[in-house]
């Protein structure tokens, strides 16, 4: 019943699983001998985080942060608000921020600056999707799953007005759903 709102499937469950596996292998190699803190930016990254962390073969801890920059629309407001902060101290630790999608860059440029002030040993960004055409603020990306065109996508954690997060694949939402 959710499929009726999807214009086109961009990444199937299998494509997502294969790419997540490759990224996890890269991370495992790059951080060999180190312990990392995976920070999931809620809510969009919860599915990616759950799959990614289980493919990483390193000692790691998990923490969550919640920010809001969107209302019910499909473009960033530019105003970023922390609605839930980390539970743990990150000073002296290797931080990997896990995001669902990098769009304008407003959310992540704000978030990464904030986390840098807490003196981690290192900080890197892992995003499942990247829409470079939409970038307003520059953001350095270390691990990126897929580069996508400027279209509004849902599924695998990504939402429109809090819905469609439970779709097992990533698809382009039909513009008529959001009045586009």
Residues annotated as catalytic (active site), given as ranges: 103
- Write the DSSP assignment of 14-45 as a string of letters: HHHHHHHHHHHHHHHHHTTT--EEEEEEETTT
Helix (H/G/I), strand (E/B), else coil: 104:
coil
Please tell me what DSSP assigns to residue 174.
P
Contact status: 76 vs ligand IMP (CB under 6 A): yes
**Which of 31, 160 has the CB closer to Mg ion?**
160
98 binds, among Mg ion, ligand IMP, none (CB under 5 to 8 A by kind): none
Binding mask 121-150 for ligand IMP (x = CB under 6 A): ------------------------------
- Other CB atoms within a 10 A radius of the CB of residue 169 amount to 17
By beta-carbon proximity to Mg ion, the closer residue of 50 and 119 is 50
CA–CA distance from 113 to each of 17, 59, 117, 127, 139 (Å)? Answer: 30, 25, 7, 17, 10
156 binds ligand IMP (CB under 6 A): no
* Smallest gap from residue 171 Cβ to ligand IMP (A): 10
101 binds ligand IMP (CB under 6 A): yes
Q: Are 139 and 151 in contact (CB under 8 A)?
A: no
Residue 148 burial (CB < 10 Å; 0-12/13-18/19+)? buried
Which residues would be at the binding site for Mg ion (CB under 5 A)?
44
Q: Which residue is nearest to Mg ion (CB)?
A: 44
Contact positions vs ligand IMP (CB under 6 A):
44, 69-70, 76, 99-108, 152-154, 158-159
């Amino acid at each position: 019943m959710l499929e009726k709102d999807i214009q086109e499937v961009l990444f199937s469950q299998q494509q997502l699983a294969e790419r997540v596996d490759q990224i996890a292998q890269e991370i495992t190699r790059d951080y060999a001998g180190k312990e990392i803190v995976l920070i999931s930016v809620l809510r969009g990254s919860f599915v990616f985080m759950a799959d990614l962390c289980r493919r990483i073969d390193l000692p790691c801890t998990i923490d969550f942060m919640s920010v809001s920059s969107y209302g019910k629309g499909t473009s960033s407001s530019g105003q970023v608000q922390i609605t839930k902060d980390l539970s743990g101290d990150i000073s002296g630790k290797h931080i990997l921020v896990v995001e669902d999608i990098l769009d304008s860059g407003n959310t992540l440029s704000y978030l990464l600056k904030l986390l840098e002030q807490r003196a981690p040993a290192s900080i890197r960004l892992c995003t499942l999707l990247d829409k470079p055409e939409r970038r307003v603020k520059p953001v350095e990306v270390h691990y990126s799953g897929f580069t996508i065109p400027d279209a509004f996508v849902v599924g695998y954690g990504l939402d429109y007005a809090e819905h469609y997060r439970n779709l097992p694949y990533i698809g382009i939402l039909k513009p008529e759903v959001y009045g586009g």
